[in-house]
Amino acid sequence: MKELVVATTNQGKLREIRGLLADLNVNVTSLADYPDAPEVIEDGDTFEANALKKAVTIAAYTQKLTMGEDSGLEVEALDNAPGIYSARYSGEGATDERNNEKLLSELEGVEPERRGARYRSCIALVKDGQTIAVVEGDCRGEIATEARGTNGFGYDPYFIIPEYGKTFGELDPSIKARISHRSKALAQVKQKLAEYYKD
């Protein structure tokens, strides 16, 4: 079976990517399957630069078709922070819980109409030093004032989808799989993969 390596250790992200690629006949592996892979320092200043760096570094190590995904939350009232720093927003030893605490405290007193935000996901596909695709997806929402629901990961309990009046923490994962930043980026990846596997 063909293999696609996802250059991540983030289990929430990996679960979603596996679900979204389930209809392809591809074995989706991750850094858990390559424990000695080099660490990728995310020092790019855009999602794209970081996604490419993950894909290029891990593809060179595994010699397999590799996907790098870099994603994050941009909040309008915070000048698009935390952005590329979303995973480490609360500093050293950051956890989803601490990141969410920091987000809430930064937004304290900010009225509902100024709590607009968007998730962004950039995905790069690389094999043999060649970039096969770089694509991006986004998803607009608003930041809640308290946690709602336990689905998803990261900032999801605070990320309200206005059309549903519910957070990704509350919505069924099948809805997130239809409308999320990651699913929009992956839909484009799937088209590129179909072309790639055609030859």
Q: Quick one: DSSP state of residue 36?
A: T
CB of 5 vs ligand IMP, minimal distance in Å: 15
DSSP 113-138: GG-EEEEEEEEEEEETTEEEEEEEEE
Q: Pick between residue 2 and residue 12 the one whose CB is nearest to ligand IMP.
A: 12
Q: Pick between residue 39 and residue 111 the one whose CB is nearest to ligand IMP.
A: 39
Q: How far is CA 126 from CA 11, 74, 108, 112, 166, in A?
A: 21, 26, 41, 41, 36
CB of 95 vs ligand IMP, minimal distance in Å: 10
Does the CA dihedral 182-151-12-74 come out positive or negative?
A: positive
Site for ligand IMP, residues 44 to 73, rule: CB under 6 A: 70-73
Name the residue whose CB lies closest to ligand IMP: 154
Q: Pick between residue 72 and residue 125 the one whose CB is nearest to ligand IMP.
A: 72
Q: Which of 179, 164, 159, 84 is nearest to 117 (CA)?
A: 159
Q: Which stretch binds ligand IMP (CB under 6 A): 18-26, 58-66, 124-132, 148-156?
A: 148-156
Helix (H) / strand (E) containing 7: none
* Pattern 99-128, ligand IMP, x by CB under 6 A: x-------------------x---------
The residue from 23, 70, 128, 172 that is catalytic is: 70
96 belongs to the catalytic site:
no
Q: Which of 132, 128, 134, 172 is nearest to 150 (CA)?
A: 172
Residues 158 and 165: their CA atoms lie apart, in Å, by 12
**Site for ligand IMP contains 86 (CB under 6 A):** yes
**Site for ligand IMP contains 158 (CB under 6 A):** no
Helix (H) / strand (E) containing 147: none
**Site for ligand IMP contains 155 (CB under 6 A):** yes
Q: Which residues carry out catalysis?
A: 70
**Binding residues for ligand IMP, per CB under 6 A?**
10, 42, 70-73, 86-87, 99, 119, 152-156, 180, 182
